Amino acid sequence: MKKIFVVALFLFVATVAQAADRATVVLVGGAGSDTTHMEYLVKNIPNAINIVPDRLWPFSDAAADTWRKIQESDVAVDGKLILIGHSFGGLISRRVAAEHPEKVIAVITISSPSGGFWACPKWIFRPGDEESNVPLYVIAVYKEGLERWFFRGPNDGTVDVVSMLDTGREAADSVVLAGLEHMEVLRSKTVADIINHWIEPFKGDASQVQTAMVSP
């Protein structure tokens, strides 16, 4: 009986330690998103669940909602977090990372208007993470034939590449992909492959990664 108790205790401690080491990937949707928009990316990262926060802006409130939803979800958050945000979701992810640097170990933005949106000044879109040390990765996309007077060159039909890359802080890595519109990027195998490549060093054993999707 004593041996059984010791073995059971060992397994319990090992399980707790493993949970503390796991990285949880949280996918954060953009304006007008619902739980269907990131289904392709969710399916390409194991153990996905969907979470829908309540607000989009200001970023402080949206970040608070997002953080609360993550805490209330079934996903394990004993370990670290990797945030992946599309469009406005990228700005929210950056704000969450700035407020919880002890938890967030990386942020990836996809088609995110960091440098302003159409005729709006860029300061409106700064998430307040200029001093953050959390690594930031940026995916920018564009498609030919979508040029309009309010875009600064190549764009995805919603955000121009200049804005996507104008993060206001140094990025650990960035990539610009051609041939994708603002929502098409979420169904791109190339984008999924890039994300998986970037998060690999952070997540350790892939079998331990859990994924959540947050969509304002």
Quickly state the pLDDT bin for 204 (edges 50, 70, 90). low
Instruction: Please give the C-alpha separations between residue 133 and each of 78, 98, 103, 149, 171, in angstroms, as whole numbers.
Output: 21, 8, 12, 36, 10
pLDDT tens by residue, 129-167:
999 999 999 999 999 988 887 888 899 999 999 999 999
Among 19-23, 94-98, 116-120, top mean pLDDT goes to 94-98
Could you tell me the residue ranges of all domains in the chain? 25-214
Cβ neighbours around 119 below 10 Å, total: 7
Q: Note the residue count of the chain.
A: 216
Name the token pair of 168: 């206001």
Quote the mean pLDDT of the chain: 78
Phi and psi angles of residue 150, each rounded to the nearest 5 degrees, phi first: -85, -5
> In this model, does residue 3 exceed pLDDT 50?
no
Quickly state the pLDDT bin for 128 (edges 50, 70, 90). confident
Tell me the mean pLDDT in the region 116-132.
Answer: 78
Residue with the larger pLDDT of the pair 215 and 116:
116
Supply the pTM of this predicted model: 0.83
Quickly state the pLDDT bin for 18 (edges 50, 70, 90). very low
> In this model, does residue 175 exceed pLDDT 60?
yes
Q: In what order do the strands lie in the sheet with 173-178?
A: 48-51, 210-214, 23-28, 80-86, 104-110, 136-142, 173-178
Per the CB < 8 A criterion, the answer to whether 53 and 69 are in contact is yes
Cβ neighbours around 2 below 10 Å, total: 6
pLDDT tens by residue, 64-99:
888 888 888 766 556 688 899 999 889 999 999 999
Architecture of domain 25-214: 3-Layer(aba) Sandwich (3.40)
According to the model, what pLDDT value does residue 136 have?
97
